Amino acid sequence: MTTSLWHQHILPFGLLLGLLAVATLAGDYLLHQLNLVWVGRYLGIPGTILIIISLIYSLRKRKVITAGNPKSLLTFHEFTAWLGSLLVLIHAGIHFNAILPWLATVAMSVNVVSGLVGKLLLDQSRRHVQGEREDLQLRGFSRFEVEQALFWDAVTLDAMTKWRKVHIPIFIVFVMLALGHIISIFLFWGWV
Amino acid sequence: MNNILKTALAVNLIVITVLVFIFPQLMIAPGKLISGHKQLDTDCFACHVPFSGVASERCVTCHKPADIGRLLTTGQPLAKPRTSSPFHQQLNSQDCVACHSDHAGVTRFMQQGRFNHALLQKATSEQCQNCHKPPTDSLHQQIADHCAQCHTQEKWVPTTFNHTQYFSLDGDHNTRCVTCHVRNDYSHYTCYGCHEHSPASIRHEHIEEGISNFDNCVQCHRSGNEHDIRDGDEKRNSEKDDD
């Protein structure tokens, strides 16, 4: 794998994911320090609402709705889903209790990673590998030599493509598990 | 999405759903139940009413309010009651979950050691010593009852009372509380409780200075320093003006 692919694409991906982890830990720490742990119990609600709002892009992409600029809606989707995930992670991290909501959290986290792969890595990496291939061909390398030089890039790209494909299935799993958690809360919790 | 993936996801979700119904205490309950309720582990609706939480009416089917703090639900006397006298019988309303939670995950969110005294009937809420052990330090050993003179029911510390604000206990005045506060009444004081001050000597000294109103000593004297006199001149002048 060339170092530029690493620096230009994978590192920013790691940083954005790392930022989510750091923000989660910082949020959890602050709530504990400020004696506001109870707030964490309710962060799941705004987090879920943000994630639901982020789905406007998915509706636009599948032409369920026709209004809105897809590019702007994608940015909106990325932002609201990231922020919603952060709130849900803080909510989940406050304390480990039942298994079902934690399975939902794991599914959501996988979903975030696969979403970030799509946002930061896949398209740019495709362009990067294609550019490298054309450059090597122009410099007179044989087809075999080009494929050999780009072997690890191609493997990485292939893995990312597969990883990207789990975004929707994992999202469905996340929705089902989250629904189970939400229904159980409504069923057993005393809201009044 | 290919069919194998779809099938795998569907099977997983079905398995999880089945597990929720077989092991609700692991899959959806917010932590373990308290040991006394262990037998209710898989029977969520023994306490929960669908869509409205835990109902106190269900608690009192086993925990009779008249027996709480006295008897176990089995009818045997409590070996080690937590308070010297039962107080659940004197609560304003029956709201068990205002103080109690059976799930470990919920208990963590409750502020431990906090009790909302507003839940108690007024007469009971004023009998602090029924639930709280009196402090054993030298100050509190001299005082019985009337905790509310200095302490609120929100917090024990800080107290609401700052003695220096009224009178600094310095020099010769670093003495026992009962010297100035007699009959265990800390809302009043007397300066004639020691050998130094007598009504006759105080009267003599103040009349000599032209001061006739000297009943409330701390209005002018906030410490044992005889030169630290507040409002003394104004008082003397106002008395002269009255004349």
| B 86-145: CB under 8 A from A | 97, 103-105, 108-109
With cut-offs at 50, 70 and 90, classify the pLDDT of residue B111: low
Q: What is the pLDDT of residues B14-28, one digit of tens each?
A: 999 999 999 999 999
Residue B71 β-bridge partners: B77
- The reply to whether the predicted model has a pTM over 0.80 is no
Measured over the CA atoms of residue A10, residue A11, residue A14 and residue A19, the dihedral's sign is negative
- Interface check for B237 against chain A (CB to CB < 8 A): the answer is no
Cβ neighbours for B70, distance < 8 A, ≥ 6 positions apart: B77, B78, B81, B86
- B48-49 and B53-54: which strand pairing? antiparallel
Q: What is the pLDDT of residue A9?
A: 67
Query: Does a cis peptide bond (omega within 30 degrees of 0) precede residue B158?
Result: yes
Q: What is the pLDDT of residue A4?
A: 60
For chains A and B, what is the number of CB pairs under 8 angstroms?
A: 65
Q: What is the pLDDT of residue A187?
A: 93
Residue type, A47: G
With cut-offs at 50, 70 and 90, classify the pLDDT of residue A81: very high
Q: Are B51 and A187 a contacting pair at CB < 8 A?
A: yes
Instruction: Write down the mean pLDDT value for chain B.
Output: 83
Nearest CA-CA partner of B27 in A183, A52, A108 = A183
Helix (H) or strand (E) holding A79: helix A70-93
Q: What is the pLDDT of residues A40-57, one digit of tens each?
A: 989 999 999 999 999 999
Which residues in chain B have Cβ-Cβ distances shorter than 8 Å to A187?
48, 50-51
Q: What's the N-to-C CA distance of chain A in angstroms?
A: 58
Q: What is the pLDDT of residues A106-153, one digit of tens each?
A: 999 998 888 887 766 677 777 778 888 888 888 888 888 888 888 888
Q: Are A37 and B109 a contacting pair at CB < 8 A?
A: yes
Residue B32 to chain A, least CA–CA distance (Å): 8
Q: What is the pLDDT of residues B32-61, one digit of tens each?
A: 899 889 889 889 999 999 998 998 999 999
Q: What is the pLDDT of residue B87?
A: 86
Select from A41, A176, A188 the Cβ nearest to the Cβ of B53: A188
Select from A99, A176, A192 the Cβ nearest to the Cβ of B26: A99
> How confident is the model over B125-142, as a mean pLDDT?
80
Interface predicted TM-score (ipTM) over 0.85: no
The runs of H, that is alpha helices, within chain B are 3-22, 24-27, 56-59, 104-107, 122-125, 138-141, 163-166, 177-180, 199-208, 232-242
Measured over the CA atoms of residue B78, residue B83, residue B85 and residue B88, the dihedral's sign is negative
> How confident is the model over B84-106, as a mean pLDDT?
85
Query: Which is more confident, A156 or A58?
Result: A58
- Interface check for B4 against chain A (CB to CB < 8 A): the answer is no
Cβ neighbours for A23, distance < 8 A, ≥ 6 positions apart: A86
| B 30-59: CB under 8 A from A | 30-31, 44, 48, 50-54
Select from B30, B50, B52 the Cβ nearest to the Cβ of A97: B30
Q: Are B30 and A186 a contacting pair at CB < 8 A?
A: no
Q: What is the pLDDT of residue B242?
A: 47
Instruction: Write down the mean pLDDT value for chain A.
Output: 85
Select from B1, B27, B97 the Cβ nearest to the Cβ of A98: B27
Q: How far apart are CA A82 and CA A70, in angstroms?
A: 18
Q: Are A172 and B9 a contacting pair at CB < 8 A?
A: yes
Q: What is the pLDDT of residue A8?
A: 67
